Amino acid sequence: MSKKMQTKTDTNRKKMAVTVCLTIVSVIYVMPLLMVLMNSFKNNRYIKTEAFSLPTGDMFVGMGNYIKGMTFGNYPFMKSVAFSLIITIVSTFLILLCTSMAAWYVARVNSLFCKICYYLFVFSMVVPFQMVMYTLSKTADSLDLNTPFTIPIIYLGFGAGLASFMFVGFVKSLPLEIEEAAAIDGCGPLRTFFLVVLPMLKPTMISVGILEIMWIWNDYLLPYLVLDRKKYMTIPIHIQYLQGSYGSVDLGAIMALIVVSIIPIIVFYMSCQKYIIKGVAAGAVKG
Amino acid sequence: MKENNKLDVKVTNSSMVTRPIRRCFPIFLLPTFAAFFIGFIYPFLKGIYLSFCKFVTTSNATFIGFDNYIKAFNDASFRHAFGYTALYAVVSLVLINLIAFLLAYLLTQGLKGTNIFRTVFFMPNLIGGIVLGYIWSMIFNGILSRYNTSILLETKYGFWGLVVLMCWQQIGYMMIIYIAGLQSVPGDLMEAAVIDGASRWQTLIHVTLPNVMPSITICMFLSLTNGFKLFDQNLALTGGQPFKFMADGTQIRTTEMLALNIYNTFYGQAASAKGVAQAKAVLFFILVAAISLIQLKATKSKEVQQ
């Protein structure tokens, strides 16, 4: 009996030790973000030499970096944020709507053309962006798809592979009987899709939506090559542009902008964390 | 007879659903297919064609055969980028998967606060590559400035900096996949091992590991392809610096990876190098596609074994 007690406290102690270790690792994990936050309140001159000290006394500049960052480099940062938001929301919406419809068609009709489409979708998932980047940006230019309002079509085209693949896999697992019942009740294909199939696709919708949002919001190269850069920037392009185009970079302002650009991500993560982790895992296993 | 009847009903029923859909092709499939054609099929085919051409703009290309490929193979910077990328991919694969598996193993032991840990470890994965690069270049320069150097001055700093950065970003992601794998190991198998007197270590090696093999394969290949395709982080952290000048006047960007090398060949150097860049891109595609094919084979054969 006492021996059993002994081992029990032993495992408890071990568990405590592991928890403490993990806590330390987590703190180290969060450190980089805390450092960015800390340095965003620090005078530019001290960031390089005193990156690890708290912004006290002379170093502290209050919101100065934020004010400077917003108007830095003759392009207002808020404009980039707005374009990032527009591109992400419109593209994700377009991808979810169009590829789910296409996937239903491909899964249900299953003609030769549909099979070819399906294999092309799968094939496109293994093609790295560098393979098509030059020709894609030229094509987009010649078709006038180089604005934030038309670039979602490019995103739909390049992102169709993974999204359709995930949707087709899910549609194939849905029982056909429900759609047959709808057809008997007099539903045309459009009503069958929007009233019967779409509600059933919800879990996959969430997974695909999250994957697309994360991809498009953080994407740098595609919008950089496709968009008309004098008029339109997104957040990653803006940050890269500030860092790359000035001899002496204002690190303070950049840290402030990084904080501003991370906040929406953290809010998004905290509000739908469960779905994000699930969606990402689903995408990984299938892709 | 009955059997036959049933079959008949099934056929009419499914065509009852299929036939009206088929007529709706312009609404359902056409938009996606048109965008897919513009965004993928046409650029892909044109890219393959252009890799055999000499061109400045896409409209005035002249066919020159395999010249571009020969030039790409003879390009010292491309060969260096390949070696550097392969080394990086292998090192990061080992480190990321080891640490991610360890964390996943610890987090499936029923500890308190597991959810918080999981949330924290996964978070960096949501931050974009460019932003990540600048966060870490600030940190590394903060450390290295005490020794009067910088991440841009030494190849080895750039290499290990990138490894640390990618570990920070990817460990949480792989950990999630490993957790899913570990949770699907049947509990009675573990119990049987304990009853048979297996130690914790023996259980891990002989019971847990074989059962999470599918997750391990997925994570290995994911981190391998991620490593080869890496671009944003590479560009933002070092951008290829430091440069090394060769005897023949060319320069090698010592921390430049494959994707960045292709990008720099396209947009950095002389306009006449675009054909070579496209040839490099095709080679890059073949490499990544080959890794994916091997992965497909590996996962398929695992499925057969189970």
Domains and their CATH numbers in chain B? 2-50 (no CATH), 70-305 (1.10.3720.10)
**Which residues neighbour B60 within 8 Å (Cβ) at sequence distance 6 or greater?**
none
A229: DSSP letter? T
Tokens of B8: 């008949």
Pairwise CB contact (< 8 Å): B284 & A143: no
- Is A287 a domain residue? no
3-state secondary structure chain B: CHHHHHHHHHHHHHHHHHHHHHHCHHHHCHHHHHHHHHHHHHHHHHHHHHCCEECCCHHHCEECCCHHHHHHHHCHHHHHHHHHHHHHHHHHHHHHHHHHHHHHHHHCCCCCCHHHHHHHHHHHHHCCHHHHHHHHHHHHHHHHHHHCCCCCCCHHHHHHHHHHHHHHHHHHHHHHHHHHHHHCCCHHHHHHHHHCCCCHHHHHHHHHHHHCHHHHHHHHHHHHHHHHHCCHHHHHHCCCCCEEECCCCCEEECCCCHHHHHHHHHHCCCHHHHHHHHHHHHHHHHHHHHHHHHHHHHHHHHHHHC
- Is A280 a domain residue? no
Quote the CA–CA distance of B78 and B72 in Å, as a whole number: 7
Nearest to A260 by CA among A239, A230, A237, A232: A239
Report pLDDT for A3: 57
- Is A268 a domain residue? no
- Which residue in chain B is spatially nearest to A157 when comparing CA positions? B36
Evaluated on CA atoms A196, A199, A204, A208, the torsion sign reads positive
Report pLDDT for A15: 83
Residues A223 and A112 in one domain: yes
Domain boundary among A26, A42, A69: A69
In total, how many domains does chain A have? 2
Query: SS3 for A42?
Result: strand
Q: What is the pLDDT of residues A105-143, one digit of tens each?
A: 998 887 899 999 999 998 998 899 999 998 998 888 888
The mean pLDDT value for A56-77 works out to 77
Phi, psi of A150 (to 5 degrees): -110, -15
Buried b (16+ CB within 10 A) or exposed e, A33-72: bebbebbbbbbbebbbebbeeebeeebebeebbbebbeeb
Q: What is the pLDDT of residues A90-115, one digit of tens each?
A: 999 999 999 999 999 998 887 899 99
* Interface A-B: count of C-beta contacts within 8 A: 274
Report pLDDT for B92: 93
Residues A113 and A225 in one domain: yes
Task: Give me chain B's average pLDDT, please.
Answer: 84
- Is A284 a domain residue? no
Distance, in angstroms, between A36 CA and closest chain B CA?
Answer: 7
Pairwise CB contact (< 8 Å): B20 & A143: no
- Is A276 a domain residue? no
Contacts of B33 in chain A (CB under 8 A): 102, 117
User: Residue A106: which H helix or E strand, with range?
Assistant: helix A77-109
Q: Is the pLDDT of residue B284 over 90?
A: yes
Pairwise CB contact (< 8 Å): A132 & B13: no
Phi, psi of B253 (to 5 degrees): -85, 110
B53-54/B251-253 β-pairing: unpaired
Q: Is the pLDDT of residue A51 over 80?
A: no
Q: Is residue A201 within 8 Å of residue A235, measured between CB atoms?
A: no
Contacts of B122 in chain A (CB under 8 A): 276-277
Residues A38 and A94 in one domain: no
Pairwise CB contact (< 8 Å): A99 & B32: yes
Pairwise CB contact (< 8 Å): B130 & A236: yes
The mean pLDDT value for B111-139 works out to 88
Helices (H), A110-234: 112-125, 129-142, 151-173, 176-184, 189-191, 198-200, 202-218, 221-226
Q: How confident is the model at residue B32 (pLDDT cuts 50, 70, 90)?
A: very high
- Which residue in chain A is spatially nearest to B171 when comparing CA positions? A29
Pairwise CB contact (< 8 Å): B126 & A284: no
Pairwise CB contact (< 8 Å): B288 & A126: yes
- Is A270 a domain residue? no
Residues A97 and A237 in one domain: yes
Q: What is the pLDDT of residues A226-261, one digit of tens each?
A: 888 888 889 898 888 877 655 567 788 888 888 988
Lowest mean pLDDT among A87-96, B116-125, B162-171, B290-299: B290-299
Report pLDDT for B187: 83
Q: Is the pLDDT of residue B305 over 60?
A: no
Pairwise CB contact (< 8 Å): A251 & B124: no
Nearest to A125 by CA among A97, A87, A92, A99: A99
User: Residue A81: which H helix or E strand, with range?
Assistant: helix A77-109
Give the distance, in angstroms, between the CA of residue A30 and the centroid of all CA atoms in the same chain.
20
The mean pLDDT value for B93-102 works out to 94
Find the CB nearest B281 among A114, A130, A221. Answer: A130
Q: How confident is the model at residue B269 (pLDDT cuts 50, 70, 90)?
A: low
Q: What is the pLDDT of residues B173-214, one digit of tens each?
A: 999 889 888 888 888 888 888 888 888 888 888 888 888 888
The reply to whether ipTM tops 0.90 is no
Domain boundary among A18, A49, A69: A69
HSE-up of residue A136 (Cα within 13 Å, Cβ side):
27
Residues A85 and A139 in one domain: yes
Report pLDDT for B306: 39
Q: Is the pLDDT of residue B223 over 50?
A: yes
CATH number at residue A160: 1.10.3720.10
The mean pLDDT value for B78-100 works out to 93
A34, A132, A275: best to mutate for the B interface, most B CBs within 10 A:
A132
- Is A264 a domain residue? no
Residues A11 and A42 in one domain: yes
Phi, psi of A6 (to 5 degrees): -55, -50
Quote the CA–CA distance of B113 and B120 in Å, as a whole number: 11
Contacts of B39 in chain A (CB under 8 A): 136, 153-158, 160
Pairwise CB contact (< 8 Å): B13 & A180: yes
- Which residue in chain B is spatially nearest to A178 when comparing CA positions? B17
The residue type found at A256 is A
Q: Is the pLDDT of residue B87 over 60?
A: yes
Residues A230 and A196 in one domain: yes
Report pLDDT for B100: 94
Pairwise CB contact (< 8 Å): A18 & B130: no
Contacts of A276 in chain B (CB under 8 A): 122, 126
Quote the CA–CA distance of B253 and B259 in Å, as a whole number: 13
Contacts of B50 in chain A (CB under 8 A): 134-135
Quote the CA–CA distance of A237 and B129 in Å, as a whole number: 11
Tokens of A224: 């950089």
Lowest mean pLDDT among A29-33, A67-71, B218-222, B279-283: A67-71
Report pLDDT for A248: 61
CA angle B297, B231, A260 (to 5 degrees): 125
Q: How confident is the model at residue A284 (pLDDT cuts 50, 70, 90)?
A: low
Pairwise CB contact (< 8 Å): B118 & A126: no
Residues 114-173 of chain A with CB under 8 A from chain B are 114, 117, 120-121, 124-136, 138-140, 143, 145, 153-158, 160-161, 164
Domain boundary among A31, A48, A69: A69
pTM of the model: 0.87
Residues 33-92 of chain A with CB under 8 A from chain B are 33, 35-36, 39, 47-52
Quote the CA–CA distance of B287 and B56 in Å, as a whole number: 26
Quote the CA–CA distance of A117 and A158 in Å, as a whole number: 14
Report pLDDT for B302: 59
Report pLDDT for B218: 85
Residues A119 and A233 in one domain: yes
Pairwise CB contact (< 8 Å): A160 & B135: no
Residues A34 and A168 in one domain: no
Give percent of chain B above pLDDT 70: 91
* Structural domain containing residue A171: 77-245
Residues A61 and A90 in one domain: no
Report pLDDT for A84: 92
Q: What is the pLDDT of residues B246-268, one digit of tens each?
A: 777 677 888 889 999 999 888 87
Report pLDDT for B83: 92
Q: Is A217 on the interface with B (CB under 8 A)?
A: yes
Phi, psi of B43 (to 5 degrees): -60, -35
Residues A7 and A113 in one domain: no
- Is A152 a domain residue? yes
Residues A33 and A59 in one domain: yes
Q: What is the pLDDT of residues A182-221, one digit of tens each?
A: 888 888 888 888 988 899 998 889 888 988 988 899 999 9
